[in-house]
A and B are shown apart, each in its own frame.
Chain A
Amino acid sequence: MTLLQPVGLLSFMALSAVLFSLGLYGALSRKSAVMVLMSLELMANAININLVAISRFSAPAELTGQIFAVFSMVVSAAEIGLGLALVIALYRQRKTVEIDSMQELKG
């Protein structure tokens, strides 16, 4: 076992898992809606890493995962734009972006 051993698929997946968990934690625990959005973005990028990595190690010639990742990034950029717009709209109405203050869905 050398230090300069090539980086394997497992490492990428481990990184991705760490990133995803961080994002999930943030999404579930942060009070500010902006922070929640940023956490969501973290989760999305963790998935992208997975896509590229699995593609590179299973079928390197076809670039399917890479292309899919680009698509995914575009979509999440749009998502985040929409999400931020919603947050701003909420802020205008409520003068706050605290997620706990919103419980209209209460049954």
Chain B
Amino acid sequence: MGYVAAIALLPAIAFAILVPMSNRVRNKAVPVSVAAVVISLALSLLAFAQVWPGGHGGEAVYHASVTFATLGSVDLGVGVLLDPISAVMLVVVTLVGTAVQVYSLGYMHRDARIGWYYAVLSLFTAAMLMLVLSDNFLQLYMAWEVMGLCSYLLIGFWHEQVAPRKASLKAFLTTRVGDVGFALGLAVMYKTAGSFDFQVVLHDFAWAPAAATTVSLLLLFGAMGKSAQVPLHVWLPDAMAGPTPASALIHAATMVAAGVFLVARALPIFEVSGVALTVTMIVGVTTALVGGLLAAVQHDIKKVLAYSTISQLGYMFVALGAGGLVAGMYHLVTHAFFKSLLFLGAGVIIHAAHTQDMREMGGLAKKMPVTTVTFTIGSLALAGVFPFSGFWSKDEILTILWHEGHYVVFALALAAAFVTAVYVARLWFRVFTGPTQSAELKEAHVEMLIPMGVLAAISAFIGFGSPYFAQFLGHEGEWPAAAIALTSMSVAGIGLALGWWVYGRRTKVINTRPFKQRAGFVYDALTLKLYFDLTYDYFIVRGYGRLAEMLSGFDRVVVDGIVNGAGAVWRSGTEVGSLIDTYVIDGAVNGTASLIKAAGAKVRRIETGHIQAYQGLMVAALVLLMLWFVVKGA
């Protein structure tokens, strides 16, 4: 089964082919990238089929590894691990990846840098596949960071404008805050367990609860950055400045789910800790609620979906925090499909309406039937309406919360589900019903509609696979209990009804101002994103800028000042020295010199320049010398 490695390598090769090209050639070489991801999809389906029968009880089917670093007695490897979880993730990533790449052929075809766009998509796909296939935490971390780079590049794809540029920076730095935690978690893991390998860390090593808590909380922190959990969620809404299909792939379906995947992988450590599970659940449920509430007040269609993604990711964390590996992973899968569908639909809508503001949209249902149908399926799945996929996965999460006795969290999760239904209705009725505001609405290209259709079909029917999914991951599979299913259905129903009552009832664009005024403070707080961004901007971003300026001054004035001061002291010391020099030492020297000079002035008279005068002197001196010898000898 060596072909499994090729699943991740093919898009990487596509990237390597595309990058060195000139922009013009690269724009024509886009099919390279699409071909790579399509082959990866085919291989992924093959791998999935080989794992499928019974899922081998959750065990690995294929495992291969090569060493890339040797440190003393420890070998660090890069490996390929095919087990049920990675098999599922492979299919999700390549399927959504293919859908997005095909869709982008239509969406981006007029862009001057489409080749670069596809190159980065390829690199991203490769990194994400590397991540799901990894057999150790270090490799996972490395792929994780590379995805961060791709996310950065795609958010800032239209970097000539200010907003994407700022958003890309914000996204990279915010996720890197989490990555610092992740890296430290790896350090603790390495010190404690002496390895990064899943086999050693998750199965062989006996964790002490304290160490397990440290490691799992640090890993969770990393996951919170990548999966945009409160309080590190602020980057994801801004990340919508990137191209919409990229948002669908990276900021809805796959990369942001990597945090969930990480926690799911590391769940055995979390379970030893216990505390970490509770923290995960609290983070998740907070995020689910906050994200839902913020989504309900956004006017930008992509931002609604972004906050919705945050909220749904919170849901997955709740499931994992309750120990529900299957429920969390299943919601990840269904969410990947219906949320990428919604984003792709949003892309079509934005193209048609030439705006992202929902207040300027309306009546799209009449002009764009395919988009309407597929988007509606996605919306219902998101709202958790039977029989669409979101209903099943959400139901599993609620079930496990109930069974584990987390009643408060159960209630909060229901509340989040209610808010979800409200904003879904708000979005849907605003966009698809009411008067048409744009004259030239028309349906999108077929290469954009086909991926949407495929994703819609999956979102509509995948739910019925829910018990098999559990079995596939090596757990007991059950059909939903009627009581909880009915509860969640009715909550969703009430939410949708409320949304219709406020936004869908009238045929005109309605005025919600009185409602907003009554909500007052709460509404203001929500529109200001609960002050997260403002706080971070004021205290951290600008605070750091000020600190850096201060330190820079400190460096110039104090640290360098000491050195220059020492230099100055030395110089003034030498000035004192130079006084002594001038008057004492130089005095002596000069005195001698002037003496010699005066003597010279006298003596030079004899220097006439006539050679014969010199000769005469010489002879005279010689005669005198000889006389002296003669006299002495006598």
Contacts and interface: CB of A to CB of B under 8 A. Distances in A.
Do A and B touch (CB < 8 Å)? yes
Interface of A: 24, 27-29, 36, 99-100, 102-107
Given A100-B610, A102-B609, A107 B615 contact: no
Interface in B595-609: 604, 607-609
A99 B360 CA distance: 115
Given A28-B612, A29-B612, A99-B612, A106 B619 contact: no
A104 B610 CA distance: 8
Contact of A104 (B609, B612, B615): B609
A53 to B, nearest CB: 20
B611 A106 contact: no
B603 to A, nearest CB: 8
A55 B603 CA distance: 43
Interface string B538-555: 000000000000000000
Interface string B608-634: 111110111001000000000000000
A27 B612 CA distance: 7
A103 B609 contact: yes
Interface of B is mostly: helix
Nearest to A100: B610
> Which of B608, B612, B616, B619 counts the most A-chain CB atoms under 10 A from its CB?
B612
Nearest to A31: B612
Contact of A106 (B607, B615, B616): B607
> Which of B609, B614, B616 counts the most A-chain CB atoms under 10 A from its CB?
B609
Contacts of B607: 105-107
Contacts of B609: 102-107
Contacts of A102: 609-611
Contacts of B608: 103, 106
Contacts of A105: 607, 609, 611, 614
Nearest to A24: B619
A104 B609 CA distance: 6
Contacts of B604: 107
B614 to A, nearest CB: 8
Contacts of A27: 612, 615
> Which of B607, B608, B611, B614 counts the most A-chain CB atoms under 10 A from its CB?
B611
B627 to A, nearest CB: 16
B624 to A, nearest CB: 15
B619 A28 contact: yes
Contacts of A28: 612, 615-616, 619
B182 to A, nearest CB: 89
Contacts of A106: 607-609
B608 to A, nearest CB: 6
A100 B608 CA distance: 10
A103 to B, nearest CB: 3
Contacts of B611: 99, 102, 105
A27 B614 CA distance: 11
Contacts of A99: 610-612
A94 B459 CA distance: 115
Interface string B243-270: 0000000000000000000000000000
Nearest to A30: B612
> Which of A36, A106, A107 counts the most B-chain CB atoms under 10 A from its CB?
A107
A99 B609 CA distance: 10
A24 to B, nearest CB: 6
Contacts of A24: 619
6 closest A-B pairs by CB: A103-B609, A106-B609, A107-B607, A107-B604, A105-B609, A28-B612
Contacts of A36: 612
Contacts of A29: 612
A99 B616 CA distance: 14
A105 B614 CA distance: 10
A106 B608 CA distance: 5
A103 B610 contact: yes
A105 to B, nearest CB: 5
B344 to A, nearest CB: 101
24 contacts: A24-B619, A27-B612, A28-B612, A28-B615, A28-B619, A29-B612, A36-B612, A99-B610, A99-B611, A99-B612, A100-B610, A100-B612, A103-B608, A103-B609, A103-B610, A104-B609, A105-B607, A105-B609, A105-B611, A105-B614, A106-B607, A106-B608, A107-B607, A107-B609
A104 B611 CA distance: 10
Contacts of A100: 610, 612
A26 to B, nearest CB: 11
B570 to A, nearest CB: 45
A102 B610 CA distance: 7
A83 to B, nearest CB: 12
A39 to B, nearest CB: 10
A94 to B, nearest CB: 14
A42 to B, nearest CB: 14
A107 B601 CA distance: 9
Contacts of B610: 99-100, 102-103
Contacts of A103: 608-610
A27 B615 CA distance: 8
A28 B617 CA distance: 10
Contacts of B619: 24, 28
Contacts of B616: 28
Nearest to B612: A28
A81 B462 CA distance: 119
Nearest to B616: A28
A35 to B, nearest CB: 11
A24 B619 CA distance: 9
A5 to B, nearest CB: 28
Given A103-B609, A105-B614, 10 more contacts: A24-B619, A27-B615, A36-B612, A99-B612, A100-B610, A100-B612, A102-B611, A104-B609, A106-B609, A107-B607
A24 B620 CA distance: 12
A13 to B, nearest CB: 15
A36 B616 CA distance: 13
Interface string B311-326: 0000000000000000
B442 to A, nearest CB: 105
A22 B245 CA distance: 119
A97 to B, nearest CB: 12
A106 B607 CA distance: 5
Nearest to B605: A107
B602 to A, nearest CB: 11
Nearest to B604: A107
Nearest to A106: B609
